[in-house]
Structures are given as C-alpha cells and as structure tokens.
A = this chain, B = another copy of it.
Amino acid sequence: MNELRDVARWGTPADAVTLSSDVRGLLSAALGVTGSRPAAATAALPAGTLSETVLKELRSVCPEVATDDEARLAHAAGKSTEDLLRLRAGQADDAPDAVARPATQQQVADLLAVCSRLRVAVVPFGGGTSVVGGLAARREGFAGVLAVDLAALDRLVHLDRVSRTATFEAGVRAPRAERLLAAEGFTLGHFPQSFEYASLGGFAATRSSGQASAGYGRFDRMVVGLRAATPIGLLDTGRAPESAAGPDLRQLLLGSEGAFGVITELTVRVRPAPRAHHYTGWSFPSFDAGAHAVRALAQDGPLPTVLRLSDETETAINAATGGPQAGGCLAVVGVEGTAEDVAGRTAALERRLTELGGTPLGTGPGESWQEGRFRAPYLRDALLDAGAIAETLETATFWDRLPATYAAVRGALMENLSGAGTPPLVLCHISHVYDSGASLYFTVVAAQAEEPVAQWQAAKAAASDAIAASGATITHHHGVGRAHRPWYTREIGDVGVAALHGVKQALDPHGILNPGILLP
C-alpha cells in the first residue's frame, strides 16, 4: 500500500488551495454540494509482470530502471479528473511494471530496441500531465509495461542566436527551459495551464497550445526540428524553417503521442524575452458581441499576445468568487514585447476594442488573471475534496460554426448532468484565436454522484458527441490519448486511420509504443 498524498492531485501539497467561503456558498447554493469526499490514503498496485531476465536486459542498456512502488505509482496516471478520481479511490491499475530513466538519447533508442525484441509496451513519460489518458497504455499482448521517464534529458543542447532557435532535449520541463532561455535573453512564450510540470517533448507529442498563443503561436508551429527514437531507428527532421521536400514529417510526429516514436530532442524557434507587458480586462455586453470583437482582432488586427473571452456564466461565476465585477462577458487582453511595441499595440487595441463595443476595465482583471493562470488545477483538487466534480474540455472550429458548437456542447453537458440528477455549472471561454476560427474551452462543475467516474464519462461522451455532430474537432490542445480515441477515429475516418496505421506498422512493427493511445 502506497501513499497517495502526492500523486492523486495536482502539483505539490504545499501549493494546495482551500476553498473560500464564497466558493463554498456557491457550491452549496447552486449545486447542492455540502459534504466532503476525502481521498483514500493509499493505493494498491498490481503485481509487476516483468521478469528478472527482462529487467536485466533493460538495465543492460539503461542502468536506471526502477520497480519500486513509489516509482510505479508516480507514473500510474495522468491528471484528468477521471485519473484523479480513480487514484483517490485507491485504484492504480494502469501503473507501469517498471520505470526507466534514460540518461542519454542513445539509451532511449537502445531501450526501444530491447522492448521491441522482448515485446514490452513503452509509455513515454514527460511531465505526466496528460488529461486524456495518454499514459494508460494497453497491456494485453505484452510482457509488461515500461514507463520511459525522460526527466534526465533536460539539456539546452544549442542556442542559435542568429536563427533564433533553441535545441533542447525533450525531457526538459517548461519552467527550466524558460529559465535557460531567459539567461540568454530569450523566451519560448509557451504557457499552457500545465506549464509548471509539463515537458517540451510532451508539448510536441500532444500539440499543446499555450495561453499566449495569439502572440507566440501554438507549440506545433514553434517546432522547426524534431528527433525521435523509433524501434527501427532514428528519425531526424527539420533542415529548414519550411520546405517543399515532401510531406512535413515534423507534423507527423507532432501529435503522435508516443505511438510512432519517442521524441528525444527538439528545435524550437525562440523570441527575445519581452521587456514589457500590459494586461487589461474588457467587458462586452454578450458572448456574441465579444466573439465578434476577438474575431475582428484575429482577422484584421491588432492582435494582442493573450486574448481570451469568457462567456456570461464564466464571467458571473468569476465575479461571484472574487473576480472582477465585469458584467456581460470578460475579455483578457495582454500585450508583451518591447516597451515601444507594447505602448503602440495597447493604444491601438484600446481604440479598436472600444469601436467594437468593449468597455475597458483597467489592468486589475488582466493582472489578476495572469497571477492565477496556473492555479485552476489546485482548485480542482479542493473541489474534489469538497464533493464536487470538476473538469475541463475543449474543441475548435471555424468562426461560422462557433455559435452552434458552443450551444450544442453546453446544452449536452447541461442536459446530461441534469438528467443524472446533478445539474452542473458550465463555464466557457474562447481560449485561442486564429484567422479562420477559434477554440472553446469548457469548465464543468457539479455535485459528485455516487459513481463519479461513470458520471463524468457519460457527460464527457455527451459533450464529445455534440462536438462531433457540430463538425468541430474533438480536441484543440489536450490531445487524443484513450479518452478521445473513439471520436478521433471517426473524425479522421477509415482512410485517415489506415494512413496512420501504415506509419505505425512501418516504424513500430511490434506495436510496443504506447499501445492503445491515439490509435486502436
């Protein structure tokens, strides 16, 4: 039996939050959440299935291969609400049998060769922050499951100041990458909610998108080169920023979620670290009016570095729990860059947003959003403790379909959870904008039912069906994993699945790489 305290929740216990009386009051009044649901203290691990012979072969190419319970439990699950609910119930069925910690890229390649020969399933492990079951590999048909934790591959290999690119080993966590770049005057500018723990290799493997994507772009657009170890050898891509030399193999590895290879190194474009920033709040009379405004900025500029728009519910809930008293819909508009650039763009944005019907709320809401930007996962832990269920999901679509997708997903969540006897709060914001469309990011809070995993699975399926029916994509930046796989395979169709299976078969003939993740 193993201590769950540090595993079944986000981040570090020292940063845990306590629910304010405002939030407790809201939970009680709006959702009927009154009790508490403490997590189990310990979890039982299934017996490891890797023989000493196999372990010896693994250790012959990578000395650090742990089989202790602590290591296995720490790699047992990602950070979805479903993952946490299972762990909180003392379930750790997906724990790997062993955890390898390669010290070099060559050790990764050698591990894959051994695992392919011995039919050991391999789960690449970066920051462990998957929220789509990306770590829950299928174990049937394999001698066992090996997590390959890339944490030791955390070097800045090369900084090219002229081309403004940085080559990192893939296991580097985002905060360390930013510190290494900051020492040289640069930034990557990628700040997803998982920023404090996730790795650059994980960002690449899952097509992460950060909160400052309007200014810095999605992660998959930052990557100019990738190296990946595969069971049949090394794949090394990216000789130029852009090329007409065939299909873009970088874009085949990006989003491959460990199913085609283990990304061991990546080259990303970097930007000069911003000297100044200016974050403001704006209020719009409605979500439609706000969406029209953010679309206008995305299509005709000026485009800020951060651009988000909460719907009426999210705005009201924020206000009721200590956030800015915005009324209508709150937008956060952040600009980063040189002092001159920030001043110029801020002024242009003020003119344009005013023309578009926005009311300025000053820097308070912007600064407070920025301060709290990585806190939501801690809040979720407190909500789970308090007997609520809380989870997020996201999609993206073209602008013309956005209102219909918004209504359909919101409606599906309301209907499903209300039907289950736990009417939810459904909050939404536009989190990332493009010239032709945007993402919608939903947050759902409800009282926990007797079987909260089944409760959420049903609600999630209803939302996913609504996303698919509206023609939107099943995920904008969380990835596919196991959770989205049924909708994903329908989204890309039989021919798309066949194409990816063709790649999988070629690069991973024994199918050891993250089996069951991404592809059936």
Contact = CB atoms under 8 A, between A and B. Distances in A.
A478 B165 CA distance: 25
Contacts of A49: none
A426 to B, nearest CB: 21
Contact of A247 (B240, B300, B500): B500
B492 A499 contact: no
A249 B505 contact: no
A399 B162 contact: yes
A299 interface: yes
Interface in A220-242: 220, 224, 230, 232-237, 239-242
Contacts of A242: 207, 209, 218, 220, 396, 432, 434, 476
Given A473-B240, A477-B244, A398 B163 contact: yes
Contacts of A3: none
Interface stretch (A20-28, A251-259, A314-322, A372-380): A251-259
A495 B243 contact: no
List the number of copies, as a whole number: 2
Contacts of A518: 246
Contact of A163 (B206, B269, B399): B399
Interface in A399-448: 399-401, 432, 434-439
A398 B165 CA distance: 9
A6 interface: no
B480 A236 contact: no
A183 interface: no
A506 interface: yes
Contact of A241 (B246, B437, B501): B437
Contacts of A230: 495
B507 A503 contact: no
A503 B251 CA distance: 14
A328 to B, nearest CB: 22
A68 interface: no
Contact of A246 (B244, B295, B471, B500): B500
B163 A436 contact: yes
Interface in A449-491: 471-480, 484, 488, 491
A251 B480 CA distance: 18
Contacts of A439: 240
A252 B255 contact: no
Contact of A436 (B241, B253, B395, B494): B241
Interface string A247-283: 1110111111100100000000100100000000000
A248 B396 CA distance: 14
A397 interface: yes
A298 B519 CA distance: 39
Contacts of A240: 395-398, 437, 439, 472-473, 476
A199 interface: no
17 contacts: A162-B398, A230-B495, A232-B498, A234-B495, A237-B492, A240-B395, A240-B397, A240-B398, A240-B437, A242-B396, A243-B475, A243-B476, A245-B484, A245-B491, A251-B252, A498-B506, A502-B503
Interface of A: 160, 162-165, 206-209, 218, 220, 224, 230, 232-237, 239-249, 251-257, 260, 269, 272, 295, 299-300, 395-401, 432, 434-439, 471-480, 484, 488, 491-496, 498-507, 518
